[in-house]
Amino acid sequence: MICIVCRTKRTLVFVLFFFFFYLSQDMTYLCIHAADASSQNLSQHFKESIRFIHECRLNGGACLVHCLAGVSRSTTMVVAYLMTVTTYSWEECLSAVKAVRSFVGPNYGFQQQLQEYQMNQVTEYRAWLRASFRPSPFKDQEQVGVLLNQYIEQQQQENQRRGGDQGWMNQASSVYPLPYNAYNGSGGNR
């Protein structure tokens, strides 16, 4: 289950599956059922989640996006949001998230959905966001860029610590090597 919780000055975004938490009357919730399975279609919920997160940020709230393990579903939603408010690709946004939470990694199906979102919808969603909300005071493009550089530095340091090139092991962990346009909007694991 995905629950997005909004509260003045504190906005909590929960991505949950069989997870119980205290429900406060001074918060607004958006709950979406979502399993951590490659066949789960999270992309159908991107727009409402992006809208909710962005609206809360514009109204002075802070966001916490979480799921039961904090690894796959929540990360997918954060990456989709970052892709929408910046011009970065899904891989770059995922790397930026890994700079502050190194063990995250959407499952294969969620990565497929992020790639499809990048290829087929993100431009439309960016235009929708600009048309639907006042101009953003945030420096998201710059901040994601800083995190991306931080991630690259972390990977270089890890490589040096390990004593050189480890080949495929130095790629972004938990990212499957998806060829460009691998899914081309057809078939797939949805």
The set of catalytic residues is 67
If we measure between CA atoms, which residue out of 107, 38, 123 comes closest to residue 75? Answer: 107
- Say if residues 72 and 140 touch (Cβ distance below 8 Å): no
Answer positive or negative: Cα dihedral of 88, 31, 16, 188. Answer: negative
Q: Please give the Cα distance from 12 to 27 (Å, whole number).
A: 9
Q: Which residue has the tokens 């979406």?
A: 32
Q: Which amino acid is at 167?
A: G
Q: How many CB atoms lie within 10 A of CB 157?
A: 10
